[in-house]
Amino acid sequence: MKDIGIVSLLSVIISAAAPSSPTAPQYKAAKSFLTAKSTSEFASCFADTQDRDALPWWYVPKNNGGTFSNLGSRSVRSAYFVVVSDRGSSREVRLEGNGASEIGVNRSVSRCV
């Protein structure tokens, strides 16, 4: 029983002495657009544009939109995320991530909104 008390005490001391992680900075979208196109219209256009430019992409649909990204591709240096959110009569398209500044994804989003 004494051993359990010592281990517990050491765990509390180590936890208290460990550095706390700083709070994450607030992340903001690199670019944000509104479009009257439906999610499926934007998704089709974006996928076609990425394919035409031979750029890697994947898409995960969700209830009110979806997310495009190139995360996981071996041929890219930094990932982008194109988040499409249904806002009623329009869709918000947010371009996020370190790869958001790359010309190929910017061109694809601009062509499709």
Please state the separation of Cα 27 from the chain's center in Å.
Answer: 11
In DSSP terms, 61 is beta-bridged to: 66
Model-wide pTM > 0.85: no
Question: How far is 5 from 16, CA to CA, in rounded Å?
Answer: 17
Please state the separation of Cα 47 from the chain's center in Å.
Answer: 17
Across the chain, mean pLDDT equals 82
3-state secondary structure of 31: strand
Superfamily of domain 30-112: Kinase associated domain 1, KA1 (3.30.310.80)
Question: How far is 113 from 111, CA to CA, in rounded Å?
Answer: 6
pLDDT (tens, 9 = 90+) of the chain, 113 residues, equals 555 655 555 455 555 555 554 554 444 557 999 999 999 999 999 999 999 999 899 999 999 999 999 999 888 888 999 999 999 999 999 999 988 888 889 999 999 99
71 secondary structure, DSSP code: T
